[in-house]
Amino acid sequence: MPTDTPGISDALAIGKQLADLCNQGKNLDAINTLYADNVVSVEACDCGGPDMPQTMTGIDAIRGKNQWWSENNEVHSGKVTGPFPHDDRFILIFNYDVTAKCGPMAGNRMQMVEAGLFTTENGKITKEEFFYHMGG
C-alpha cells in the first residue's frame, strides 16, 4: 500500500501513536497531544443522558468523556489493534474487559469490542466515531 500521500502517511502515523498510547493506558495523553481543539466525537447511541450526549464537540468535552469513563468503569484489561488507514482516516479496534461501577450494569463484568473511525487534518484528529452493539 503506498504511503507517500500526505493523508495516508499522516493518518497511519497518528493512528499508530493513538494505538500505542491507549495500549499503555495513556488515553488522556493521547487526547492532549493528538486531538484538535475543535474535535467532534460521535458515539453509536445516545445512551448517556443529558450529561453524555451522542455527539460532543471540543477537546474539553472529550477530556470530560474520558474522565467519566475512567471514573465509572474498572478496566481489567484493554487492547487496541490497528490502525487501518484510508486517505485521511483510520480505524482502530478496541477490546476491553471492564466492570461497570454505576448504572444498570453496576458490578457486572463484561467484554466490550468497538471500532473507532478517526478523521485527521493538519496532523491532528478532528473527528472520532465509535461503532459497537449494545447487546440484545
We report the CATH number of the domain holding residue 121 as: 3.10.450.50
| pLDDT for res 50 | 67
Would 33 be classed as within a structural domain? Answer: yes
pLDDT digits (tens, 9 = 90+) for 70-116: 898 999 999 999 999 999 999 999 999 999 998 888 999 999 999 99
- Grid cell of 107 as nine digits: 458490578
Confirm whether 1 is domain-assigned: no
For residue 120, give the C-alpha cell: 485527521
Domain span at 122 = 6-131
Which residues, listed in sequence order, are joined to residue 77 by a DSSP beta bridge?
A: 97
3-state secondary structure of 48: coil
Is 98 a member of any domain?
yes
In a domain, 124, yes or no: yes
Evaluate whether residue 31 is within a structural domain.
Answer: yes
The Cα 91–Cα 73 span in angstroms is 23
Look at 68 and 34; give whichever has higher pLDDT. 34
Give me the chain's average pLDDT, please: 90
Residue 3: is its pLDDT beyond 50? no
Count of domains for the chain: 1
For residue 2 the three cell numbers come to 503506498
Which sign, positive or negative, has the C-alpha torsion 54, 92, 108, 73? Answer: negative
